[in-house]
Amino acid sequence: MKKKENILINGCSRGLGYDFFEYLKSKYNVYGLSSVKSDNKKIFYYNPLENIKIGDLLKKKIKTLKINHVIHCSGGGFKKHDKLLEVKSLIDLFNVNFYSIYEINRTLIQNKLKKQKLNIIMIGSIAAIENKASIGYSAAKSVLFNYNKNLAINFLNEKVISKLVIPGSFLSTNGSMKRLKNKNIKIYNKIKKLMPNTKMQKSIDIIQFTEFLLKNESDLLNGTYVSLSNLESKSIFL
């Protein structure tokens, strides 16, 4: 019987990250990083606004673990819509949407065995392409494009694989689109009309596609991004 691989889900308190954790836990040894404290011993609490501490936490937790894959689902705009956002608020957005991801990856790469492959999958946002979200959030998410490609280039000979997935609007457990649907059905329906066949994407659609990216056959996509956005007519590869 094949030994289960270890997966770390960053941002599993709710939304897509929570759904990833629940879907994959029967197929892999799944561990989580969450901004909400949990009784589950496989879910580790951390504050993404204090990303410097994540490295120390991970070193303690993964000391006896061999992490094969990490899926980054952390992110959020936190209702910071000001067009002239103060630097402190901008830094908060970058902490959650990029700096914490960078620190987690840095720690995993530093602590992995030389012959061990580390597969990094980052979940971005269509906001980085279409600029339909706030300035701060869109800017923070756009950094992932360059970072993803540079990870692939700089660690090409060190068994580090990096891929970026760009979803559009979708429904997930306690996710932002579900909250919008409950709060403002008119705006939700306007977004829904932009979808193919006016059907809102669900987290399971993204998860099942991303599941392929966990396989060795997907290593050819190292350094690329794949757009799953319903607002675009085709997938895009860099």
Computed over every residue of the chain, the mean pLDDT equals 82
Model pTM? 0.85
Taking only the tens place, the pLDDT of each residue in 181-223 is: 777 787 777 767 766 666 777 888 889 999 999 999 999 999 9
In a domain, 238, yes or no: no
Query: What's the rounded mean pLDDT across residues 21-35?
Result: 93
Q: How many domains does the chain have?
A: 1
162 or 199, greater pLDDT:
162
Question: Does the residue 234 lie in any domain?
Answer: no
Q: HEC profile for the chain?
A: CCCCCEEEEECCCCHHHHHHHHHHCCCCEEEEEECCCCCCCCEEECCHHHCHHHHHHHHHHCCCCCCCEEEECCCCCCCCCCCCCCHHHHHHHHHHHHHHHHHHHHHHHHHCCCCCCEEEEEECCCHHHHCCCCHHHHHHHHHHHHHHHHHHHHCCCCCEEEEEEEECCEECCCCHHHHHHHHCHHHHHHHHCCCHHHCCEEHHHHHHHHHHCCCHHHHHHCCCEEEECCCCCCCCCC
Residue 1 maps to a domain:
no
Q: Using 50, 70 and 90 to split pLDDT, how confident is the model at 231? A: low
Residue 68 within a domain: yes
Instruction: Assign residue 176 the CATH number of its domain.
Output: 3.40.50.720
Q: What is the pLDDT of residues 201-211, one digit of tens each?
A: 788 888 999 99
Q: For residue 96, give its domain range.
A: 6-228
Residue 237 lies in a domain: no
Per-residue pLDDT tens over the stretch 91-117: 888 888 899 999 999 999 988 877 889
Model pLDDT, residue 7: 96
